């Protein structure tokens, strides 16, 4: 094929990416206003203010999972109506074919016993994976609560740093190890590209840490754990979906139920051992506007989570890096539009007379980071074969070319047109000539 760059046909399912990005924009707007005035007016956020905000986030994310009950019952009702028609047809067919011999009845009992055993094994496996998914989902949020419980200092992570690219690499690696996704030349090229970009952006981050003295904040040692738990959450979710036993709605509901129990036990423990951690928690519920913002964030986060699970279901966890990079760009440009206000606010809240990094004083690195993320986005697109590069044999074993080979074989085997047969005969003769030449050499 002469084409060097091949774009796959647009799929309707890509609309879920746009819907997911829409929820990200809405959450960004809500977060900009979801901070009580009493906390905002303080010159420095205290340990309790930060941990209260993080615990609120944990429960917002958790409660939003239960909204999946609505689409779950709708889909279940539609599925039951279809299953009843199918079961009726199966019963009619079974009644016609059934004989009254003793051997048939004995085989039926053996079959039913085997079916019951398999059903029990399947149920245990589903429960195990649901507990695993809920645990990873809890841990990815708990890691920041743990950070605030240990360290008093607040953290500030600027956009377009190393975290998202590291998350992309984790997604690719865990997908390869756990889901046994095979990496061909194009996928390996994409992985190596992101590893190289990670090295470059880590150097920029280290320079920022030195320049803005962020080494005081140990959050950089907590973030990799958050990314690992985040990746494993959706990787095992895809593994459960691939069995075909549960729907994404049931996964979200059960994950939320298990996680709610863990969060409740954890919160009660914090309340017993350090009650002061919750002393400013009530500030989020004293005014109607904050309550409405919290409700809005619960609903919006549910849709964002739902669209992300649909993407994983319809595509794969390797497509989630598209959402990760998209989130980074959305948050970056959203904060960039409010750069002056953010700069003034950060400088006013800076402790120990040390300015934290802002978009105004990151001018030198800002555009370099954007270019790095654009290359990372290209790598993700290549990894998922949304665009196939037919250079140096990179596209030879992609799904696109394998489908062409299968289509050509079917066309050849079913062809009656002499022109089509002649074309394949020419290809075969060329292959034979190459083989003969190799034998002579």
Domain boundaries, the chain: 5-399, 400-440
Cα–Cα distance for residue pair 240/178, rounded to 1 Å: 12
User: 């956020």: which residue's tokens?
Assistant: 45
- For residue 381, CA distances in Å to 248, 371, 372, 374 come to 25, 15, 14, 11
**Would you state the pLDDT for residue 101?**
47
Question: Helices (DSSP H) in 34-68: which residue ranges?
Answer: 37-40, 47-65
What pLDDT is attached to residue 302?
Answer: 95
Of the candidates 428, 394, 437, the one whose C-alpha atom is nearest the C-alpha of residue 408 is 428
219-223 contacts: CB < 8 A, separation 24 or more? 219/147, 219/155, 219/157, 222/143, 222/144, 222/146, 222/147, 223/157, 223/163
Q: Looking at residue 296, what is its pLDDT?
A: 94
Report yes or no: 208 and 112 within 8 Å, Cβ to Cβ.
Answer: no
One-letter-per-residue 3-state SS of 1-31: CCCCEEECCCCHHHHHHHHHHHHHHHHHHHH
Please identify which residue in the block is written with the tokens 């960004």: 28
Q: What is the pLDDT of residue 333?
A: 83
Q: Where are the beta strands (DSSP E) in 182-335?
A: none
pLDDT at 230: 92
Pairing state between β 5-7 and 387-389: antiparallel
Please report the sign of the dihedral spanned by the C-alpha atoms of residue 121, residue 122, residue 123, residue 124.
Answer: positive
Residues of the chain with pLDDT under 70: 1-4, 36-48, 81-115, 152-158, 212-217, 276-277, 338-365, 392-441
pLDDT at 419: 55
Say what the alpha-carbon torsion angle 366, 208, 164, 228 is, to the nearest 10 degrees.
Answer: 180
Alpha carbon distance 17, 308 (integer Å)? 8
Q: Are 398 and 186 in contact (CB under 8 A)?
A: yes
Residue 433, pLDDT score: 47
């Amino acid at each position: 094929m002469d084409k060097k760059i091949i774009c796959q046909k647009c799929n309707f399912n890509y609309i879920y990416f746009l819907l997911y990005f829409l929820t990200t924009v809405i959450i960004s707007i809500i977060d900009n206003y979801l901070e009580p005035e009493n906390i905002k007016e303080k010159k420095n956020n205290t340990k309790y203010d930060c941990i209260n905000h993080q615990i609120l986030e944990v429960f917002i994310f958790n409660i939003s999972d239960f909204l999946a009950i609505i689409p779950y019952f709708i889909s279940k009702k539609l599925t039951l109506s279809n299953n009843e028609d199918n079961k009726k047809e199966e019963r009619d067919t079974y009644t016609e074919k059934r004989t009254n011999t003793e051997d048939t009845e004995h085989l039926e009992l053996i079959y039913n016993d085997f079916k019951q055993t398999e059903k029990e094994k399947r149920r245990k496996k589903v429960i195990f994976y649901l507990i695993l998914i809920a645990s990873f989902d809890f841990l990815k949020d708990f890691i920041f609560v743990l950070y605030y419980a240990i360290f008093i200092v607040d953290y500030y992570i600027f956009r377009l740093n190393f975290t998202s690219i590291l998350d992309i690499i984790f997604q690719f690696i865990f997908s390869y190890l756990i889901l046994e996704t095979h990496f061909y030349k194009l996928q390996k090229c994409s992985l190596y590209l992101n590893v190289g970009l990670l090295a470059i952006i880590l150097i920029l981050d280290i320079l920022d840490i030195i320049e803005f003295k962020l080494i005081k904040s140990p959050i950089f040692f907590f973030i990799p754990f958050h990314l690992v738990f985040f990746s494993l959450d959706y990787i095992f979710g895809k593994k459960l979906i691939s069995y075909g036993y549960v729907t994404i709605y049931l996964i979200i509901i059960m994950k939320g139920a298990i996680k709610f129990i863990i969060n409740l036990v954890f919160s009660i423990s914090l309340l017993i051992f350090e009650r002061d951690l919750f002393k400013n928690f009530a500030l989020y519920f004293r005014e109607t506007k904050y309550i409405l913002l919290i409700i809005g964030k619960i609903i919006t986060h549910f849709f964002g989570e739902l669209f992300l699970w649909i993407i994983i279901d319809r595509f794969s966890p390797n497509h989630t890096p598209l959402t990760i990079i998209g989130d980074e760009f959305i948050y970056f440009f959203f904060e960039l539009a409010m750069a002056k206000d953010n700069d003034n606010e950060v400088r006013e809240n800076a402790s120990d007379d040390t300015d934290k990094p802002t978009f105004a004083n990151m001018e030198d690195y800002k555009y370099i980071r954007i270019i790095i993320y654009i290359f990372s986005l290209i790598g993700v697109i290549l990894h998922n074969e949304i665009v196939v590069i037919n250079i140096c044999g990179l596209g030879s074993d992609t799904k696109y070319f394998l489908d062409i080979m299968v289509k050509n074989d079917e066309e050849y085997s079913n062809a009656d047109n002499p022109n089509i047969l002649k074309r394949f005969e020419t290809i075969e003769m060329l292959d034979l000539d190459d083989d003969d030449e190799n034998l002579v050499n």
